[in-house]
Structure formats: C-alpha cells, structure tokens
Structure 1
Amino acid sequence: MESLSRTIRHDEALKLEAYCLKNYLQLFPRHFHDYYVFGFIVSGERELLCNSLSFHLSPHNLLIFNPRDNHECVSATYSPLLHYLGFNISVKRMKAISSELTGKNSLPEFNPTVFSDESAGNTFLELHQLVMQGSDDLRKEELFYVLFSRFFEKDAHSSVLSRPLRSFQIKQACDYLEEHASEAVTLDDICQKVAVSKSSLIRSFSKQLGLTPHSYLLNIRIKRAQGLLKQGIPPSLVALKSGFADQAHFSNVFNRLTGLTPSSYQNIFIKKASPRHDSE
C-alpha cells in the first residue's frame, strides 16, 4: 500500500479550502468544527457517528457537517478510508453563499449528514480537481454554483432563487461571450453585464440553450480556432489566439468537440489548398 498523503489548497476566488487524504488509516475521535465541511468518499469505508446517529461510509458517499456537529469515526472495519476529498467553508462565506442562492441572510442547516447523489458527486469530483489544480477557469465557478445549488435544494430546507432570464438577457450574455471569447471571462463579468444572479444565469442558460456558459464559450473558441487553422496558423499560436491557456487544453477540447486533433483538422485544408501536379 502506498504511504499516507495529505494535500491542501486554498482557493481565493471561491474562498474555500480544499484537501485530499489518501491511504488514511487513522481514526478520528469525537470532535467538531467551527466551519462547514463537505466531503466525498472516493474509496474505502468507515463507520461514522454524528449527533448520536450512525452512518456507514462507503465509496461515492457525500458528507456534510454543519458547524458544531459532533462526529467521530469509530472503526475502519476491514477497509480503511483510502481516499477522501473535502472542502472547508467558513461561516462568513457560507452566509454569503446562502444570501446569493436563497436571498436569506441566514446560515443553512444541512441534513442528512451522509447521502448519495450521483450528479452532485460527479460535480464535486470535477470541482475538487479544478481547485487542486489552481484553475481560474469559468468552469470552476460554474461547478461551484451548480454543486451548492444542489446542496441547498436537497439538504438545507431552502429554496434556491432562480428567476428565468428573458430572451434579450440570454442574447446579451451570448454577445458578451462572443466579444470576450479570447479573454479570461468570469461569472461576475457576465452577471454584471446582464444584471442577474449567478445561479439564475447558469440555470436559464442551460435550460434555454442546452449549454452552460462555459460550454458555450468553448464552442465559440473552437469555432474561431477552426477558422485560424484553415489559414495555416500553427496550432500553438491558434490556442493562444482562441483564448486557451495552453496548447494541451486546446487540443483536448478541440478533439472532444470535433473528433480530430488541431493538426489533423488543419492538414485537411492544407492538402485541399495544395496545387495538384498531374504527371504528363
């Protein structure tokens, strides 16, 4: 078995602390936190006691601890907690999230402590990966609001405010993304332009266009990249001109959306443009 590893990263944009525990054998005695804890079990099992309730932790379980929730792991059974991911969020930050998502300036009380939700779990994993990578991508912000909207709807007994955007507001958002596609766009940028909340923007965008703002932005960038590749511009330069941080990310997205690598796509048009020399 590999040795124990602990990794932690503070995300200034989202104002949260992310951490990863791998190959962790230690049991946790009864304790509590003064902040919110959101966790995901990647692999391994534990028995958890929280507020006098007993839970069996297994892979793909999500965990939420409110501040002052007393909890402890009482046994590792036959399978230690091998891989655990978590987010720590301060009370002040949670109050701001609650105000933005529900319109209430109060702290949520999440229940139950342990549950399974495949969609939320997948969102948690992708968000955690982006945070640990130090990403400042629009996708990270998007996932954050999708995940916490889900938590509030499911477990905090609160209704998420989500006013549907009108057609002209959707068009304003699309126009903004078109105009700034080569720049580092944030949800704040779009929301200030359209004068809507982040959760409303994401929900309405997805419902009316079938894409999230980030997905829409990627499609715009790939469309522009295709035009540049047809002109014979090197893929490495096309990546920068199209708004991608590096060529690797550009190649991955291009391949996923078109089924071809940038070089393969470019070669098609270079060959077509080459003069034909028939033998006499």
Structure 2
Amino acid sequence: MNQKIICYDEDLGVEAYSFTGVSQNFPNHFHDYYVVGLIEEGERRMIVNNQEYTLEPGDLLTFNPYDNHSCEGINGSRLTYRCINLKKEIFLPFSGTEFPRFLSPMQAQTDLAEDFQQLHCAIRNESEAEAKETLFILFIEELLQKYSQETNLAAVNDKEPITMICEYLETHYDQKITLDQLCQLVHLNKHSLVRQFTREKGITPYRYLETYRIVKAKELLEQGCSLIEIADRTGFYDQSHFTNYFSRFIGLTPNQYRKIFVRGNEE
C-alpha cells in the first residue's frame, strides 16, 4: 500500500508527514527548515552533505536547514516513515539567540523513537493543545540535549564567492539564470565555479536554484495561490514543469501539499 498523509498543526506550527509503503527515490535537495523523521519500515541509502548512510527501522533523521540530502531504496525496499518539519524560529525558546545544529543527520536506533512516535500521533490525531505542547517541549529538549550544538546559522558559511552566488540565486530565483551570469558575478570560470560551489555546498548551483524555487513555491501554496501563478512567480517554465519538480523533491503533488493549509485559510 502506497499512502501519503500530511497535516499542519496550528498549535505547534509544524507540518507532519506519514509515508507508508513508498518506493519513490528523492534527488539531492535541501530544505530551509529542520526535519526530524523516523524510519519505521524499509531500508534506504542516504547521502547527506556528501556522506553516505544506510537507514534502517528505528533510525531517527535530524536534518539542519540547508543540509543537502538524497535517498533511494535498497533492493526494492518500500519505505514507511513519519516526520515533522520545524521552522528555525521554533527552536529559539529552547536555545536562546542561537540556532541549534545537529551534529549528525542520523541517530541510529535512538531511544527517542518512541517519544517521537507519541508526539507524531498526538499531532495526527489532533490531541488537545496542552497535551501536544507538553510532548513537543519534552521531546525537543531531549533531542537538542543529546544530538545538537548551538551555532549561528548565518555565520556558518564564510566563503565569500559561494555566499555571493547563493544570495544571487535566492534573490533572482524567479528569473532565468545562467552559469555565465554567475561566473561574471564572482569572476570565476565555469569549471572553477561549479567545482568550488559543489565542494562547499554538496550540491550544484542549478540544483540549489531548483531547490530554492521549491522552498518559495511551498510558501505560495500555503497562501492558496494557483499553480499557474506559482509556476510563473518561481521561475518554472509552466505548471507542468513546476508540478513535476515539486513531486520529485517533496514526494507530494502541489495540490496535496496545499490541502493541509486549506482549513487554516478558511478559518
């Protein structure tokens, strides 16, 4: 059975995903938020920031914002997986002025798996706000204590040419951008630019642009914009091009993703 269930919890401000029996492979990409997820069934080969991991049931995933990652099934194994997506600001009450950084993207056979399942079920079942908040606070505090360190995300990347390229891509993502433009920006040839960017980010400039366009598209979906408008505003050729990319990167169609925010917009 291939099933995908998503919901948005307004009390906590988090998205919750449940994938059952999924065979889809995910290309190299990143998110602008934290992801915490649990493998419940299936084995996967995952690459995060150019390092390979093998995922098994009971492993907890902890992605930092802008950690590039890809994954694929092993020997036809189907994935059953649940996760929550957490905006950076959610962590500030726990960590003060600094954003935390998980030291590893995988916590093998962690004893926090049961606590995470309990929290995820509370979100899925729309439990009382106070009960969910208590579970959330206890889980996040223990997660940070075990697996993170504090860091200023804005200061992580101190390599000026790469920073300039990222800023340019994030500013002009709705336009057609060529390697020639980026080369002129940082005064590097194409070979040096692609090699240096990929070594630093673990992802090519073009894939970085694609991923950032998806990040902005998600924001517009949350606002209820039409697919045609979103495609136009995020630099995709047309609605079909946008839908194909979104499904590859997120594992859901744009309409499936937008539905989790419909109730909140109506209210």
CA displacement, residues 125-155 of structure 1 (integer Å, 9 cap, x when unaligned): 0110010011125332111111111111112
Q: Aligned runs of 1:60-75 on 2, under 5 Å? A: 60-73=58-71, 75=72
Instruction: Find the counterpart in structure 1 of residue 118 from structure 2.
Output: 126
Partner SS state of residue 146, structure 1: helix
Instruction: Find the counterpart in structure 2 of residue 100 from structure 1.
Output: 93
Instruction: Find the counterpart in structure 1 of residue 105 from structure 2.
Output: 113
Identify the match of residue 87 of structure 1 among 79, 84, 103.
84
> Are 2:132 and 1:140 equivalent residues in the alignment?
yes
Query: CA separation in 1, counterparts of 2:11 and 2:132?
Result: 10
Instruction: Find the counterpart in structure 2 of residue 38 from structure 1.
Output: 36
CA displacement, residues 24-68 of structure 1 (integer Å, 9 cap, x when unaligned): 101111011111111000111100000011110000100011111
Greater strand fraction, Structure 1 or Structure 2: 2
Larger RCO, structures 1/2 (Cα 8 Å, 6+ apart): 2
Change (3 A) 1:44 1:147: same
> Are 2:22 and 1:29 equivalent residues in the alignment?
no
Larger radius of gyration: 1
Query: CA separation in 2, counterparts of 1:122 and 1:116?
Result: 13
CA displacement, residues 168-210 of structure 1 (integer Å, 9 cap, x when unaligned): xxxxxxxxxxxxxxxxxxxxxxxxxxxxxxxxxxxxxxxxxxx
Q: By how many angstroms is 1:118 displaced?
A: 4.1
Q: Is the 8 A contact 2:20 2:79 kept in 1?
A: yes
Q: Aligned runs of 1:154-193 on 2, under 5 Å? A: 154-158=146-150
Change (3 A) 1:64 1:136: same
Instruction: Find the counterpart in structure 2 of residue 78 from structure 1.
Output: 75
Query: CA separation in 2, counterparts of 1:112 and 1:13?
Result: 28
> Are 2:7 and 1:15 equivalent residues in the alignment?
no
Identity %: 32
Structure 1 unmatched ranges of 5 or more: 159-280
Over the aligned positions, Cα root-mean-square deviation in angstroms equals 1.8
Structure 2 unmatched ranges of 5 or more: 151-267
Query: CA separation in 2, counterparts of 1:137 and 1:51?
Result: 36
Partner SS state of residue 29, structure 1: strand
Q: In the comparison of the two structures, how many residue pairs are matched?
A: 151
Normalization by structure 1: what TM-score?
Answer: 0.51
Q: Aligned runs of 1:239-254 on 2, under 5 Å? A: none
Normalization by structure 2: what TM-score?
Answer: 0.54
Partner SS state of residue 154, structure 1: helix
Partner SS state of residue 148, structure 1: helix
Q: Is the 8 A contact 2:60 2:110 kept in 1?
A: no
Partner SS state of residue 151, structure 1: helix
Query: CA separation in 1, counterparts of 2:4 and 2:145?
Result: 31
